[in-house]
Structure 1
Amino acid sequence: MTTDTTTKDTAPGAPAPGTTILDARGVTMRFGGLTAVNGVDLTVNSGEIVGLIGPNGAGKTTFFNCLTGLYIPTEGEVRYKGQVLPAKSFKVTAAGIARTFQNIRLFGNMTVLENVLVGRHTRTKEGFWSAVLRGPGFHRAEKASRERATELLEFVGLAHKADHLARNLPYGEQRKLEIARALASEPGLLLLDEPTAGMNPQETRATEELVFAIRDKGIAVLVIEHDMRFIFNLCDRVAVLVQGEKLVEGDSATVQGDERVVAAYLGEPLENDPGAAEAAEVEAAEAAQASETPETPETSETSEADTTTDTAAGKENDR
């Protein structure tokens, strides 16, 4: 008897690779007169890891909030597996989208295992009276939830700390716990908001491997991150938001080679930018004026002294 191992770890009911599971169309979010997100289109396919990058204040987390029901978009719609998502975060979770947050949001006074069990609530069918009466069905459901939570803790490497308080975990392990709690809702799409923020290189590498392992289980991933090396190593596609609008989308090479992305991050003027031309003219005029000014012994001595001072300062910095 042979066993098919290719899909053994795939999430139940996972769509075929390449199927569009998230389709955001024209998503716009306004706060009074401020437009934080403006007409953003984005798709995520099953089996994909998609990155969302941009400078601070570009609207990335606001866009995440629109996808997960924390905000109701002013315009546009968000579809998951072809269905328009309800404008309630718990209903979005029940539909199959889970997320983590930029600022860790754990229940610090609960154990590691209990935190993961919280994430199971959308997948349990026991109601109020079952919890009150605590019949056989309730105990079966509780046992199944604990077994699944323990599996997830083993998956992220925290099974040995199941009974520890969440607040006592190191920072990197708190990030892992938040991911485990999100996975407890059995999502088809996982949204990660800056999962490596504040991590050292070893922790970042471990997170990268964890995200790959999540993808291998059939869960698509959409991730916001400022660590460019991490994002370009990890993602199949990357979309860039600047001032609430999608600037460019493509593979890592396409995005890294786009001069608009470089300008957005580094503040460098684009070619044919009127501001750049004006700055060049000013520099040329200043250079011409300097060349026409006759050199006097006094200015020569001053220049020589300044050069000596600058050189000494440079040597000091080199140390």
Structure 2
Amino acid sequence: MTTTTTDTPAATTAETVLDARGVTMRFGGLTAVKNVDLTVRSGEIVGLIGPNGAGKTTFFNCLTGLYIPTEGEVRYKDKVLPPKSYKVTDAGVARTFQNIRLFNNMTVLENVLVGRHTRTKVGLWAALLRLPSFGREEAASREKAMELLEFIGLAHKAEHLARNLPYGEQRKLEIARALASDPGLILLDEPTAGMNPQETRATEELIFAIRDQGIAVLVIEHDMRFIFNLCDRVACLVQGEKLIEGTAAEVQGDERVIAAYLGEPFEGAPGAEEVAEVEAAEAHSEAAHDEAAADAEATDSTTSSTDGEDR
């Protein structure tokens, strides 16, 4: 598959924040992502598009430590990212998910504070004994969280339960929680999914504001008008391979991109059965990951309970 890449002169002089090289992800005999290279530089908003089953979310998962790539490497500011999602967040990369993953029974403020935990340094004993250092850090975290809620326009709902927010505001809250970790790069997985035009426009303005704070942005989106208005560069994945990368005008005018979205075959294009197999493999892997996380949480809870009985 032929890949086209175009960089603007200004972009090439900026610091490289994300550098993914030869990223490949296989599920058994299926290849969901194949030899994908992608860079994101400071001050950039980069879009990732492609039809269903193209491997976009799988690629995101490889970038953020949810999956360990079968081949290739992912660097953040020239350091290879560790294969653990919480360590990737600690390194400076945050993300949102296609399906909202808020703590519904926690308040809006508490949700943002959860995202802040990677930047808190006070130890267990300071927290248990309520030492002055714990109080200072807790106050600083709340101040930062309220600043973020002000930034996204939800400060007045800080004490509301997350589940009671309208859909568009839940999306905003998830972005605020990601920003709470002070990332240098934020990955947004379909941030406008299910939104009306007014909410979509508000999200576009929010992403521009995030970029203006010096945070690089990589975004997956199916809304082509939104992505082409928003992004400095756009990459298109088809069957896990990068078909083209360039400006919005270059990508939306490429005949192969048009054919892929219209479902018309072109040389090297996958068949419907191949697409379905990859989608099924991705779904199975996601389910396995969620089950493993739940088992780990249950184990931690049991261990903590046992430790308490021993004491």
Question: In the alignment, which residue of structure 2 is the partner of 1:163?
Answer: 159
**1: CA distance between counterparts of 2:164 and 2:61?**
28
1:149 corresponds to 2:145: yes
Question: In the alignment, which residue of structure 2 is the partner of 1:257?
Answer: 253
Q: Which amino acid aligns with 1:202?
A: Q
Matches within 5 A, 1:43-54: 43-54=39-50
Calculate the TM-score normalised by the size of structure 2: 0.81
Instruction: Check the 8 A contact 1:172/1:199 in 2, yes or no.
Output: yes
Query: Structure 1, residues 71-97: CA drift from partner, whole Å, max 9, x if none?
Result: 000000000000000000000000000
Instruction: Check the 8 A contact 1:37/1:62 in 2, yes or no.
Output: yes
Instruction: Check the 8 A contact 1:238/1:255 in 2, yes or no.
Output: yes
Structure 1 residue 61 displacement after superposition: 0.3
SS in 1 for 2:191: coil
**2: CA distance between counterparts of 1:269 and 1:53?**
18
Structure 1 residue 130 displacement after superposition: 1.1
Q: Which amino acid aligns with 1:244?
A: G
Q: Which moved more, 1:217-226 or 1:129-138?
A: 129-138
SS in 1 for 2:148: helix
Matches within 5 A, 1:106-255: 106-255=102-251
Question: In the alignment, which residue of structure 2 is the partner of 1:5?
Answer: none
Q: Which amino acid aligns with 1:187?
A: P
**2: CA distance between counterparts of 1:261 and 1:212?**
26
Identity %: 84
**1: CA distance between counterparts of 2:41 and 2:202?**
24
Q: Which amino acid aligns with 1:214?
A: I
Structure 1 residue 127 displacement after superposition: 1.1
Q: Please point out which of 26, 40, 43 is paired with 1:30.
A: 26
Instruction: Check the 8 A contact 1:259/1:270 in 2, yes or no.
Output: no
Matches within 5 A, 1:9-24: 18-24=14-20
Instruction: Check the 8 A contact 1:112/1:161 in 2, yes or no.
Output: yes
**1: CA distance between counterparts of 2:113 and 2:208?**
23
Structure 1: gaps (5+ residues): 1-15, 274-319
How many equivalent pairs are there? 257
Q: Which moved more, 1:16-25 or 1:186-195?
A: 16-25
1:70 corresponds to 2:66: yes
Structure 2: gaps (5+ residues): 1-11, 270-311
User: CA 1:269 to 1:87, structure 2 compared with 1: closer, same or farther past 3 Å?
Assistant: closer
SS in 1 for 2:83: coil
Computed over aligned residues only, the root mean square deviation of the Cα atoms, in angstroms, reads 1.3
Question: In the alignment, which residue of structure 1 is the partner of 2:7?
Answer: none
**1: CA distance between counterparts of 2:175 and 2:31?**
30
**2: CA distance between counterparts of 1:65 and 1:53?**
15
Query: Structure 1, residues 83-138: CA drift from partner, whole Å, max 9, x if none?
Result: 00000000000000000000000000000000000000000101111111110000
Higher alpha-carbon Rg = 1
